[in-house]
Amino acid sequence: MTATLDGLGVPDHTRTLVKVDIEGAELDALRSARQWINDRNLFVIEVHAEALEMPIRDLFRAQGCALERVDHRAHWLVGHEPRQGENFWLVTPL
Protein backbone atom coordinates (compact mmCIF):
# COMPACT_ATOMS: atom_id res chain seq x y z
CA MET A 1 0.00 0.00 0.00
CA THR A 2 1.27 3.47 -0.87
CA ALA A 3 0.45 6.48 1.28
CA THR A 4 0.61 10.06 -0.01
CA LEU A 5 0.62 13.37 1.82
CA ASP A 6 -2.51 14.50 -0.02
CA GLY A 7 -4.20 11.23 0.94
CA LEU A 8 -3.64 11.58 4.69
CA GLY A 9 -6.99 13.26 5.25
CA VAL A 10 -5.52 16.09 7.31
CA PRO A 11 -7.90 19.07 7.14
CA ASP A 12 -5.29 21.81 7.75
CA HIS A 13 -2.42 21.94 5.24
CA THR A 14 -0.60 24.86 6.90
CA ARG A 15 2.02 25.56 9.57
CA THR A 16 3.81 22.27 8.96
CA LEU A 17 7.45 21.33 8.50
CA VAL A 18 7.72 18.70 5.77
CA LYS A 19 11.05 16.87 5.46
CA VAL A 20 11.51 14.76 2.34
CA ASP A 21 14.46 12.35 2.14
CA ILE A 22 13.46 9.26 0.19
CA GLU A 23 16.55 8.37 -1.83
CA GLY A 24 15.66 9.57 -5.32
CA ALA A 25 11.85 9.39 -5.21
CA GLU A 26 11.41 12.99 -4.02
CA LEU A 27 9.66 14.21 -7.16
CA ASP A 28 7.11 11.38 -7.08
CA ALA A 29 6.33 12.09 -3.44
CA LEU A 30 6.02 15.83 -4.00
CA ARG A 31 3.68 15.36 -6.97
CA SER A 32 1.27 13.71 -4.53
CA ALA A 33 1.64 16.53 -2.00
CA ARG A 34 0.27 19.49 -3.96
CA GLN A 35 -2.19 20.44 -1.19
CA TRP A 36 0.81 20.89 1.12
CA ILE A 37 2.94 22.98 -1.22
CA ASN A 38 2.02 26.50 -0.14
CA ASP A 39 3.72 29.51 1.42
CA ARG A 40 2.52 28.58 4.93
CA ASN A 41 4.53 25.34 5.13
CA LEU A 42 8.26 24.80 5.36
CA PHE A 43 9.91 22.13 3.20
CA VAL A 44 13.34 20.56 3.59
CA ILE A 45 13.98 18.26 0.63
CA GLU A 46 17.15 16.22 0.26
CA VAL A 47 17.71 15.80 -3.45
CA HIS A 48 19.77 12.83 -4.61
CA ALA A 49 20.25 13.70 -8.29
CA GLU A 50 20.99 16.95 -10.12
CA ALA A 51 18.38 16.03 -12.73
CA LEU A 52 15.62 16.33 -10.10
CA GLU A 53 16.37 19.93 -9.11
CA MET A 54 14.56 21.76 -11.93
CA PRO A 55 11.44 19.53 -11.97
CA ILE A 56 11.08 20.00 -8.19
CA ARG A 57 11.60 23.76 -8.51
CA ASP A 58 9.03 23.88 -11.35
CA LEU A 59 6.49 22.02 -9.22
CA PHE A 60 6.91 24.51 -6.37
CA ARG A 61 6.91 27.49 -8.75
CA ALA A 62 3.57 26.32 -10.20
CA GLN A 63 2.16 26.46 -6.65
CA GLY A 64 3.56 29.97 -6.12
CA CYS A 65 6.47 28.87 -3.91
CA ALA A 66 10.21 29.37 -4.14
CA LEU A 67 13.02 27.04 -3.11
CA GLU A 68 16.62 27.76 -2.15
CA ARG A 69 19.49 25.34 -2.69
CA VAL A 70 21.77 24.46 0.21
CA ASP A 71 24.84 22.43 -0.66
CA HIS A 72 26.35 20.00 1.84
CA ARG A 73 29.62 21.12 3.28
CA ALA A 74 31.87 19.89 6.02
CA HIS A 75 31.02 20.88 9.58
CA TRP A 76 33.89 22.38 11.56
CA LEU A 77 33.36 19.94 14.45
CA VAL A 78 32.61 16.63 12.74
CA GLY A 79 34.13 17.03 9.28
CA HIS A 80 32.44 15.94 6.09
CA GLU A 81 29.66 13.35 6.17
CA PRO A 82 30.39 10.64 3.60
CA ARG A 83 27.67 10.58 0.90
CA GLN A 84 26.98 8.71 -2.28
CA GLY A 85 26.59 11.00 -5.28
CA GLU A 86 25.68 14.66 -5.36
CA ASN A 87 23.20 15.27 -2.55
CA PHE A 88 21.95 18.73 -1.69
CA TRP A 89 18.96 20.32 0.01
CA LEU A 90 16.15 22.39 -1.47
CA VAL A 91 14.40 24.42 1.22
CA THR A 92 11.59 26.93 1.30
CA PRO A 93 12.78 30.32 2.53
CA LEU A 94 11.73 31.42 6.01
Assigned domain for 71 exists? yes
Within 8 A by CB and 6+ apart from 89, the residues are 44, 45, 46, 47, 69, 70, 71, 72
Assigned domain for 27 exists? yes
Task: Band the pLDDT of 81: cuts 50, 70, 90.
Answer: low
Question: Could you read off the pLDDT of 15-62 as tens digits, one per residue?
Answer: 889 999 888 889 999 999 999 999 999 999 999 889 999 999 999 999
Asked if residue 39 lies in contact with residue 12, where contact means CB atoms within 8 angstroms, the answer is no
**Alpha-carbon distance 42 to 66, whole Å?**
11
What range defines the domain where residue 69 resides? 15-91
pTM as predicted: 0.83
Burial (CB < 10 A; 0-12, 13-18, 19+), residue 12, is exposed
Total structural domains in the chain?
1
Assigned domain for 60 exists? yes
Assigned domain for 61 exists? yes
Q: Strand 17-20 relative to strand 42-47: parallel, antiparallel, unpaired?
A: parallel
Assigned domain for 8 exists? no
Assigned domain for 5 exists? no
